[in-house]
């Protein structure tokens, strides 16, 4: 039984997948971005701390798939003033590490990465940095996001407008 | 043209009954005066007692730009101190919340008890006989008091009591807490902290903006429910009301179009009472407290979104305890604390959190659009060729109730006029 995370080709596939996801987010390609998700997925941006029980603590974002669809619907619709005009975004995702040794090709791959994101909007350039945690499912030979957790360095500070895709 | 206040007789001249001068929102010297005359004089909301439930628990808060430590001492009493070592002024408390028996200054080691007494000064032999530790405790905030667990403070040593200040607003703070079967809400689920580049007074009460600023929220409700919700809830034909409670306190009364139905939600911001054992237990507890099913449903309908502004810095909207922190004329921080219900099934509070996040916070579907508008207001208001804002909406049509409330249609600028009238009174 081979471990998929030690496989060089899997590693490069994960990198390519995360690069593609970053590109969709940066360029506001909401329907393409949504296609990268499993319907069982959770998009989590913790608030005040990096980890806690989200049933008992508020989050900046805690989207199930239905709410992810709503988020993309809203951002694509007229009247989302906080993204009119949209933020200009450029991010680097790197320092990818594999946290588990998923043993079969239908297993969930646990991936960690770091992100640096620069946003320009309304005359203001803002740098966001975050540690990322992904759980990826391999579905019909394609990765699907089952969890994306974005641990912003400043998640306990007063933040501005985070209505774009982190 | 910019208003130079030194040339003006009074700040109050910038406020007329139906219009307001934009300098009120843009002038830094007026902002400095607001700190002195409003935030450092009137009662302001500070903290909720549930944030510091145990002896030794503390939290740090802001009154304007002054940081305050709110601490429950070993004797169980809540006290509020300025976060400043009496020696050379260093903050003695570094964290926003925690538990401490002592606060020790990092500079020279002066140590204070959690009741504010100076209990330790290193190498005391170099102070003279007249050095009195008793006189050098952390400076207490002159007055603090609470209503239904909401702790307010005033930097004025004398003046109206908190009850006098709250007036008719007290009833609605109580109503907010009455959504909980225990009659108290619990603020232990974190804080959603946001900022915007605009004036603190933009965080007001406005029933006119919903269909425009929050178009996507209405579209999402239609998408979720399959039918359009009643957009007339927020129009000149709505039975909902704006209410001036006096003293700058005001509210939107949205209860006319709210319906309490198990398993259904009229507002995705509030979530629904789930059709589960947890939901049923909540209703049983409310019926037990209020005497009948009708009374309990009526209480829930009125309590779950009191939409109250307690002048100057507190709002209770949906499940949010929203606290406004003025930083400068053109920069504001807003802290949102989701208020949880006491003694209910976890699933109810979990739904409350998820519904909170749906609208609120820096990535929600509602509040960011409000703050976008506030930032655009700030930019717009610097264009002061025509400096007067129009706040006349509904002015000729409002009613005054026998107990002195001014009531208008939900889109009327009753609330803005209420706040501006109070601003003029406070600023003089």
For chain B, domain boundaries: 46-162, 188-427
Answer whether A56 touches B (CB < 8 Å): yes
Q: Which of A86-95, B6-15, B188-197, B305-314 has the lowest mean pLDDT?
A: B6-15
Chain A residue whose CA is closest to B354: A62
Which among B196, B223, B357 is the nearest to A62, CB-wise? B357
Burial B279-312 (b: 16+ CB within 10 A, else e): beebbebbbeebeeeeebbebbbbbbbbbbbbbb
Compare A9 and B251 and report the one with higher pLDDT.
B251
Answer whether B363 touches A (CB < 8 Å): yes
Answer whether B94 touches A (CB < 8 Å): no
Answer whether A51 touches B (CB < 8 Å): no
CB distance B189–A157 less than 8 Å?
no
For residue B1, what pLDDT is reported? 46
The residue of A158, A159, A160, A166 whose CB has the most chain B CBs within 10 angstroms, and thus the best one to mutate to test that interface, is A158
Answer whether A39 touches B (CB < 8 Å): no
Answer whether B361 touches A (CB < 8 Å): yes
For residue A100, what pLDDT is reported? 73
Domain ranges (residues) in chain A: 4-152
- In percent, the amount of chain B with pLDDT more than 70 equals 97
Phi, psi of B264 (to 5 degrees): -125, 145
> How many Cβ pairs within 8 Å bridge chains A and B?
104
Q: What is the CA angle B400-B406-B410, rounded to 5?
A: 120
Q: Please tell me the class of the B188-427 domain.
A: alpha beta
For residue A6, what pLDDT is reported? 59
Confidence of residue B388 (pLDDT cuts 50, 70, 90): very high
Residues of B in contact with A162 (CB under 8 A): 362-363, 368
Residues of B in contact with A160 (CB under 8 A): 194-196, 362, 371
Q: In the predicted model, is pLDDT for residue B384 greater than 70? A: yes
For residue B226, what pLDDT is reported? 79
Residues of A in contact with B220 (CB under 8 A): 70, 73-74
> Taking a contact as any Cβ pair under 8 Å apart, which residues of chain A between 67 and 126 contact chain B?
67, 70-71, 73-74, 77-82, 84, 122, 124
Q: Is B224 exposed, middle or buried (0-12, 13-18, 19+ CB in 10 A)?
A: middle
> Taking a contact as any Cβ pair under 8 Å apart, which residues of chain B between 162 and 221 contact chain A?
189-197, 213, 215-216, 219-220
CA distance B343 to chain A (A): 14
Alpha-carbon dihedral sign for residues B71, A54, B315, B260: negative
Residue A94 region by backbone torsions, left for phi larger than 0, else alpha for psi between -120 and 50, else beta? beta
Residues of A in contact with B196 (CB under 8 A): 160
Q: In the predicted model, is pLDDT for residue A1 greater than 60? A: no
CA distance A166 to chain B (A): 10
d(Cα B135, Cα B127) in Å, to the nearest integer?
Answer: 14
Which among B216, B333, B338 is the nearest to A79, CB-wise? B216
For residue A103, what pLDDT is reported? 45
Which neighbouring-strand residues pair with B99? B57
What is chain B's alpha carbon radius of gyration, rounded to the nearest angstrom?
Answer: 23
* Average pLDDT score over residue span B243-256: 95
Mean pLDDT of chain B: 94
Which among A77, A80, A159 is the nearest to B362, CB-wise? A159
d(Cα B307, Cα B316) in Å, to the nearest integer?
Answer: 6
CB distance B354–A156 less than 8 Å?
no
Residues of B in contact with A80 (CB under 8 A): 216, 369
Alpha-carbon dihedral sign for residues B106, B111, B114, B115: negative
* Average pLDDT score over residue span B353-371: 97
CB distance B196–A160 less than 8 Å?
yes
> Taking a contact as any Cβ pair under 8 Å apart, which residues of chain B between 291 and 330 contact chain A?
none
- In percent, the amount of chain A with pLDDT more than 90 equals 85
Superfamily classification of domain B46-162:
Rieske [2Fe-2S] iron-sulphur domain (2.102.10.10)
For residue B7, what pLDDT is reported? 56
Q: In the predicted model, is pLDDT for residue B42 greater than 50? A: yes
For residue B4, what pLDDT is reported? 57
* Average pLDDT score over residue span A146-164: 98
For residue A4, what pLDDT is reported? 57
- In percent, the amount of chain B with pLDDT more than 90 equals 89
- In percent, the amount of chain A with pLDDT more than 70 equals 92
Confidence of residue A2 (pLDDT cuts 50, 70, 90): very low
Which among A57, A73, A78 is the nearest to B189, CB-wise? A57
Compare B345 and B225 and report the one with higher pLDDT.
B345
Correct CATH for A4-152 of 3.40.50.300, 3.20.20.70, 3.30.70.360, 3.10.450.50 = 3.10.450.50
CB distance B190–A62 less than 8 Å?
no
Alpha helix positions (H), B291-366:
293-303, 346-359
d(Cα A119, Cα A127) in Å, to the nearest integer?
Answer: 6
Q: Nearest CA to B152 among B35, B323, B306, B307?
A: B323
Residues of B in contact with A45 (CB under 8 A): 363
The token pair at A155 is 């998640």
For residue B335, what pLDDT is reported? 98
What is chain A's alpha carbon radius of gyration, rounded to the nearest angstrom?
Answer: 16
Q: In the predicted model, is pLDDT for residue B6 greater than 60? A: no
* Average pLDDT score over residue span A117-125: 97
For residue B263, what pLDDT is reported? 81
């Amino acid at each position: 039984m081979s471990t998929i995370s030690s496989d060089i080709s899997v590693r490069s596939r994960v990198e390519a997948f995360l690069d593609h996801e970053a590109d969709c987010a940066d360029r506001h390609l909401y329907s393409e971005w949504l296609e990268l998700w499993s319907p069982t997925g959770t998009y989590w941006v913790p608030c005040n701390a990096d980890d806690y029980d989200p049933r008992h603590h508020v989050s900046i974002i805690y989207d199930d798939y239905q709410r992810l669809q709503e988020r993309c619907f809203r951002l694509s619709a007229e009247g989302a003033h906080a993204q009119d005009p949209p933020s200009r975004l450029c991010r680097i995702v790197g320092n990818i590490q594999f946290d588990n040794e998923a043993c079969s090709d239908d297993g969930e791959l646990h991936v960690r990465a770091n992100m640096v994101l620069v946003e320009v909007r309304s005359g203001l350039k803002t740098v966001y940095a975050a540690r990322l945690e992904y759980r990826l499912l391999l579905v019909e030979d394609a990765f699907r996001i089952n969890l994306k957790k974005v641990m912003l360095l400043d998640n306990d500070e007063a933040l501005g407008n985070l209505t774009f895709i982190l | 043209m910019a208003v130079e206040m030194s040339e003006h007789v009074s700040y109050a001249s910038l406020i007329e009954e139906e219009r307001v001068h934009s300098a009120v929102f843009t002038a830094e010297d007026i902002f400095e005066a607001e700190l002195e005359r409003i935030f450092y004089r009137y009662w302001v909301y500070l903290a909720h007692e549930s944030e510091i439930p145990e002896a030794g628990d503390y939290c740090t808060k802001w009154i304007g730009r002054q940081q305050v430590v709110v601490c429950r001492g070993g004797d169980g009493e809540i006290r509020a101190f300025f976060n400043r070592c009496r020696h050379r002024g260093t903050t003695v408390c570094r964290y926003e919340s925690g538990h401490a028996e002592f606060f020790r200054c990092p500079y020279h080691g002066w140590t204070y008890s959690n009741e504010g007494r100076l209990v330790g000064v290193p190498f005391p032999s170099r102070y003279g006989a007249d050095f009195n530790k008793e006189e050098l405790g952390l400076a207490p905030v002159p007055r603090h008091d609470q209503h239904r667990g909401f702790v307010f403070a005033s930097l004025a040593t004398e003046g109206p009591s908190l009850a006098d200040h709250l007036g008719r607003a007290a009833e609605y703070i109580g109503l907010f807490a009455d959504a909980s079967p225990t009659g108290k809400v619990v603020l232990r689920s974190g804080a959603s902290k946001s900022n915007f580049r605009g004036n603190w007074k933009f965080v007001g009460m406005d029933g006119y903006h919903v269909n425009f600023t929050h178009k996507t929220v209405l579209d999402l409700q239609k998408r979720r429910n399959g039918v359009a919700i009643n957009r007339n809830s927020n129009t000149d034909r709505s039975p909902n009301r704006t209410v001036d409670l006096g003293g700058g306190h005001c509210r939107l009364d949205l209860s006319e179009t709210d319906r309490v139905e198990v398993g259904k939600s009229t507002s995705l911001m509030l979530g629904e009472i789930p059709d589960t054992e947890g939901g049923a237990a909540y209703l049983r507890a409310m019926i037990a407290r209020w005497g009948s099913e009708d009374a309990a449903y009526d209480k829930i309908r009125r309590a779950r979104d009191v939409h109250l502004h307690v002048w100057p810095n507190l709002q209770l909207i949906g499940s949010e305890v929203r606290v406004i922190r003025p930083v400068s004329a053109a920069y504001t921080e807003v802290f949102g604390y989701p208020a949880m219900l006491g003694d209910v099934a976890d699933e109810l509070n979990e739904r409350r959190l998820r519904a909170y996040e749906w609208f609120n916070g820096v990535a929600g579907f509602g509040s960011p659009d409000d703050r976008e508008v506030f930032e655009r207001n700030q930019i717009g208001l610097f264009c002061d060729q025509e400096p007067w804002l129009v706040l006349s909406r509904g002015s000729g049509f409002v009613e005054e109730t026998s107990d002195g409330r001014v009531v208008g249609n939900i889109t009327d600028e009753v609330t803005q006029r209420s706040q501006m009238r109070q601003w003029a009174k406070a600023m003089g």
